[in-house]
Structures are given as structure tokens and as C-alpha cells.
Structure 1
Amino acid sequence: MIQAIHTANISGVIALAGGGSQALADLLKQPGASSTILEAIVPYSGSAMVNFLGRAPDQSCSALTARQMAMQAWQRARQLSSKQADTLFGLGLTAALATQPQRKGSDRCYIALQTLTETLELAIDFTLPDSAQLRQQQENLCTEQTLGLLGHLIGRETSDQQSKDRSDQYQRSFSSTAGKPDWQSVLLGKQSSTLEVAGPSLIFPGAFDPIHKGHMEMKRIAEQHTAMNALFEISVFNVDKPPLDYWEMQKRHASLTDLGELVFTSAATFVEKAAIFPEATFIVGADTIKRIANITYYQQDPQHRDRAINELVRRGARFLVFGRFNEGHFNTLEDLDLPVILQAICEQVPESRFRDDVSSTLIRQDQHKGPA
């Protein structure tokens, strides 16, 4: 399998954390590794992972973290190689393997592979207790599955017989999510959005992870106020996170498809959004307007911030601002100290018309806690 991987026309970056290093070692010790592996990254400490991903992951060992590592690795491969994007891959692996003293929860491994056309995800949950299964056995299984994932990339599927023979040692789940052509174009920077909008528009930007009743009430009020239909906008890129992978894009698309029209864009900032959607009214929370005014996002340069706000004005952007509950207080536009030029293009939705203390962040935190 390794020889086939090295002779195939693929190159990529591998990122590992918490285990799985044997797979990398096995790839490197075979002739031809330099044509396959552009770079190997081991963000082992918490600070190294923050530096690699741009922020601390919600969980250090999870499917989401593995996918984010794979996406960041793929982006790095694109920087390092002049090859066609469809020949590049990013592989992310994060594992919590057998250790002493025993950890709370199960030993597990998540492996993700990002390419131009698909996001692959493989999860392994080791079912034997630490005392019965040596760490090296777990490393061997992680290596086997990692090489099998790369084999999938080159059309060399491994036999399921070994997995069936050792089904009492681990549980395995696999998923593949294809990227739609327009999603690929946005990710590559060939187009700025998946939908062209002409003339004034009502844009509701956000992550919507997940969407909740507060979002839908904001949308209803904004549509009633402007007499326009709102368009959900999700940026594939973020100033402090890896780009969204196809698994995430498909999840957001599925959750919103019956609630309104959705557009994916490459616009990480509102200046970029305003360029895609001139004369748009943006539905935002008070916390978002506060960030637009915060010089932290402009290299601590007030003049840089003011130029950005002037560009928003030039593009005809306006903001319909909804109050946001934060740190025990419901903040509205009136609570914010904003530059006059930004204040002039904002309109407050009064608290008497909208108040919702739920946030997607709190919902995700509750989901991670699980049932009581």
C-alpha cells in the first residue's frame, strides 16, 4: 500500500496530535516519501494546536478537530506546492490512546482527509480496556486505518476482513462528503459566492451552528421591517478559524434548506461581504457591530478601521442591529461606543420587539456535555 501511495500523483501535508505517529514513520521510511509528504506537523501541546488552527479547539480529540487539522493541512499543501489543487491532500489525525493513569472516557482516534473534491472522516473507538490492549496495538490500528484512508484516495481500497476479524477490539465509522462544484470554486478563490445577487438585498450572515429560534425571529422581524426576503450567508473562511470543510458545509446546508435561501461566500470580513452584496442591509447582533468597531481586528490601527468603515459606507452597507445577551447583560446598540460614521449606518431593533438570550455557542456547549 505504501509503495502505491508514493508512486501515485498525490502530495500533501500531514498533521498529527496525541498519537498515530507510527503511520508517519512508516510512510517516511519507504523510498519515494519525499514525493508524497510535503510537510509533517505535530502540534502536540495546547499552544501549538492554537497556533496551528488559529484558535483553541472545542475538544482536543474529536472528529471536528481532526477535520479542522486536515483542512489547515490542505491549505498548507496549497502554499507549499505548485501542483494542481486536485492532486493535493491534507491529513489530520488526533488520538487519545492508552495511557497511565487511565483517562476518563474511551480511547479513541479520529482521522480526516481533505482534498479539493471531498472531506473524508474516520472514527475509531477502542472497545477493550487499557489493561487488555497495549498502546502499541492501538498505534498499529491507527496506522492501518490511516494508510487505508490514503489508499482510498488513490483508489486502492483495503479489505474489510481485518476489521471484521478484530471487531471486538474497536468500533469504526467512516463518512465521505463530496464538495459541490460551486463550493470547490469558493474554497479555491475562483468565485466569491455561490449565488449572484443584483441590487439591494437583505443578508443574514452567521455560522448558524446550529440555527435556533432566535435566528428565525431576527429573520422574521428584519423581513417585515425591510419588506425583503433575507438570504442566509455563511463565509467558508474565518479570520481566526480554518475554512469550513465539506462535511460542515453540508451540515449547515441541510439545516437551513427549508428555512430560507443560503449562500456560501469567501467573505471573512464585512468589507468583503459589502463588495459581494452592494447596497445590502445586514442583520447582525450588537456583539458583531462591537467587533466591527474594535481596533483589535485592524492591527490596533484606528485609521485602518476607519478606512474599512468608510468602504462599507461607499458600498451602501447598512446594519439592522439586534440586542445580544452577553456576560449577564442584554446589550443593545445604545450600549456601544461606536465611531460616528458607523453609528450612522446602524439601526437598532428595540428590546421591546426582540430579546432572546439563547446562543449557538451555549447550545453547542450543552450538546458537548450530553445528558445529565
Structure 2
Amino acid sequence: MADTWARAAADAIHLTPTQAVLYLSGGASQVPSQFCSLRTAEELALLAYNRALKLSRPGYPVLGVGFTGSLATTHPKLGEHRMHMSTRSSNRHWVSTITLSKGLRTREQEEILSGHLLLKAIAKACKVPGTFVSDLTQSDLVEECETLFTEDEELEQLIKGDVCFKVYPFLSETFTSDAERKIILSGSFNPLHDGHIKLLEAATSMCSDGYPCFELSAVNADKPPLSVSQIKDRVEQFEKVGKSVIISNQPYFYKKAELFPGSAFVIGADTAVRLIDPKYYDGDYKKMLEILIQIKNRGCTFLVSGRDIDGVFKVLEDIDIPQELRDTFIPIPADKFRMDISSTQIREQLGI
């Protein structure tokens, strides 16, 4: 009966859009007792959640699962037979500690039970309906707790660094479900304007397999982090125009490349000039090269549009890109996109 339910639950989980990462530790005597704790399970779930975010397709719900257990052994055991489980999604954190009656089950039976209970937790987190069969008895002790996060709390966790990014999938267009590569236009978007939208559209037209999204870092390299209210105000701009936006906590491209491997970053020629300028790398040309090669090795590229630099409109071909990086920088032709006004000028016109 339990095996039939488990197979059905697993099939139902696979049919949901949720993309999950599981970090499991323990289940037998080889795991030190200090590792078998609720805190360990919670930390594993959070690590798994952040890993799932990095691996997931844009806009899909993600789940992190943590499990640690100290179960029956082949010889008499002094400690308790227990397991700790935790699941983490964008707005929900659930934990459970289950202490099993000693001597009631064999090691194999405890491991099968722990697997079923973990499957039940995953199914619940994936919102799979149904009646879940459990082989727990009245002598087993179950303690669980669920915490729901508000949007403000989610963003506070992001600013703090507990969560690496949050996706707002407002995209109005339909893209194929296998579009795993992200086409990312990063900026402060204060305000979001038509130039941003048209630039990302031009970049997307060059990448048939990509999913376009904007990216706003809540953390700035030279300024205090954005407040929760500031982030929400800027996110509202994207909702109004039906464009997806990612809120991250990484202001540097080499860190963005760690979060979004394989992505195409859309930048202006002025940003490309700064990226290859050694003065932003402590004056060290070799350091600049090493960092940008790291970005390249993560499968990332830069799609570069023309920009006004010191009163002159320049394109990628006007920039002396190091030989080792030339295949990483790809031009966006001026006939696809050209905008001579900057965000600063737009803010001045709007009196912001």
C-alpha cells in the first residue's frame, strides 16, 4: 500500500512545474550525531534552495529540500532514532523532527519510512493533492513547524544575503519551456524606460534560444543597498509593462555569472569599456583578464550595444577588446538598436 502511494506521489511530483534540489545527509551510523540536527536540515534546505534558483528555468517555482537522520544500526544504539527534514520555497519554510520508537523497526524499515516521509514533505511543498499514507505509530514523536514569508521578508532575506535572488515572472510574451539560457539586461532602472525595453528586445532577436529578463541588484558597489520599498517600487514598473525581472544581491558581473551561468548579459559600449579597464581591478591588467576569463568559462557572453561616450557614439568595434576575450563580446548592430539619450538624462527631464 505504501509503495503504491509512493510511486503515485513521485509521478505526481514530476508532473508539477516545481524544480527541486535535495541535499541529504545521514540515515545510519556513519553520520556523526552532531550533524543530525534540525539546524543542519534547515541549512541544507536553504543551500539547496539557492542551488535550485541557479539551476532553474526562469519563472519556474523552485524548492530546496534538506534531510539528515540518525537511524537504526546493526548493533544496539545508545542515541535516539530520529530524522530532521526541511523544505524551503520562495515564501515558505517547513521543518519537521521525527523521533522513532527504538526497537520497533529494522534499519531497512526505518530507511524506507524516512524515504516515504521525505517524499510526503516534497509532495506537500509541490502542492500535490492526495491522501498520504504513513507508517508512523502513536509511539513515534512528530514535531513540525511551518513559516510563511511576506514579500517584504523575502526581500529582506535577499538583501541580507540568505537568498541569492528572487524572480518576478511578469513576462507577457510566450517563450518555449526549454529556453534555459537567460538574456539579462542589468541596471538600476530608475526609471525603467523604452530604451531598456527596446534594447532587450534587440538582444533577444539575436538569441533564438533565450529567455529575456531584466536584473536589478539590491546591493550597490558604491552606495547603500536599496530598501525594500525602493525595490518594490522599481519592480512595479516591470509588472506594468509585462516584463520579467530578477532581483539579485550581486552588483559585479563576475558574481552575476556565478548566479546565472550560460547567460548573455546585455550591456552598452560604455560598460564594455569599464569592464576591460584595469583601473577597476586595482590597476592590474592580469587580474582584469583572469576575472573576465572566469566569466567566459561560465559560458557567459556580453551583447554590446552602441552608446554615447564623451559625446561620441561608439560601438563594440571601436573598443580594443583583449584577444582572449573577443569571442565573449558580441556586437548588437546599430540598425537593431540605437539610443543616444542616457538614463541620467531621462531622470533630469523627469525631475527625478
Could you state the TM-score of these two structures normalised by the residue count of structure 2? 0.52
Q: Distance in 2 between matches of 1:304 and 1:267?
A: 19
The residue matched to 1:232 in structure 2 has which SS? strand
Q: Distance in 2 between matches of 1:241 and 1:295?
A: 22
Q: Distance in 1 between matches of 2:343 and 2:298?
A: 30
Q: Distance in 1 between matches of 2:184 and 2:214?
A: 6
Question: 1:312 pairs with 291, 295, 305, which one?
Answer: 295
Say whether the 8 Å CA contact 2:181–2:263 is kept in structure 1.
yes
- Give 1:256's aligned amino acid: F
Q: Distance in 2 between matches of 1:183 and 1:339?
A: 38
The residue matched to 2:279 in structure 1 has which SS? helix
Q: Distance in 2 between matches of 1:270 and 1:308?
A: 9
Say whether the 8 Å CA contact 1:179–1:246 is kept in structure 2.
no
Q: How far is 1:220 from its partner?
A: 1.3
The residue matched to 1:180 in structure 2 has which SS? helix
Q: In the alignment, is residue 287 of structure 1 matched against residue 259 of structure 2?
A: no
- Find the counterpart in structure 1 of residue 188 from structure 2: 207
Say whether the 8 Å CA contact 2:257–2:298 is kept in structure 1.
yes
- Find the counterpart in structure 1 of residue 162 from structure 2: 190
Q: Distance in 2 between matches of 1:345 and 1:196?
A: 28
Identity across the alignment (%): 30
The residue matched to 2:313 in structure 1 has which SS? strand
The residue matched to 1:330 in structure 2 has which SS? strand
- Find the counterpart in structure 1 of residue 124 from structure 2: none
- Larger of the two Rg values belongs to structure: 2
- Find the counterpart in structure 2 of residue 216 from structure 1: 197
Alignment of 1:72-221 (within 5 A): 180-195=152-167, 199-221=180-202
Question: 1:232 pairs with 214, 217, 222, which one?
Answer: 214
Say whether the 8 Å CA contact 1:199–1:278 is kept in structure 2.
no
- Find the counterpart in structure 2 of residue 253 from structure 1: 235
Q: Distance in 2 between matches of 1:327 and 1:291?
A: 13
- Give 1:209's aligned amino acid: N
Q: Distance in 2 between matches of 1:295 and 1:241?
A: 22
Say whether the 8 Å CA contact 1:237–1:267 is kept in structure 2.
yes
Q: Distance in 2 between matches of 1:293 and 1:345?
A: 12
The residue matched to 1:244 in structure 2 has which SS? coil
Q: Distance in 2 between matches of 1:282 and 1:259?
A: 20
The residue matched to 1:284 in structure 2 has which SS? strand
Could you state the TM-score of these two structures normalised by the residue count of structure 1? 0.49
Q: How far is 1:179 from its partner?
A: 6.0
- Give 1:230's aligned amino acid: P
Q: In the alignment, is residue 296 of structure 1 matched against residue 279 of structure 2?
A: yes
The residue matched to 1:242 in structure 2 has which SS? coil
Q: Distance in 2 between matches of 1:350 and 1:236?
A: 31
Q: Which runs of no fewer than 5 residues in structure 1 stay unpaired?
A: 1-177
- Find the counterpart in structure 2 of residue 345 from structure 1: 328
Q: Which runs of no fewer than 5 residues in structure 2 stay unpaired?
A: 1-149, 170-178
Q: Distance in 2 between matches of 1:297 and 1:278?
A: 23
Number of aligned residue pairs: give it: 192
Indicate the RMSD between aligned Cα atoms, in angstroms.
2.1
Say whether the 8 Å CA contact 2:302–2:329 is kept in structure 1.
yes
**Runs of 4 or more above 6 Å deviation:** none
Say whether the 8 Å CA contact 2:214–2:244 is kept in structure 1.
yes
Q: Distance in 1 between matches of 2:333 and 2:167?
A: 32
Q: How far is 1:277 from its partner?
A: 0.4
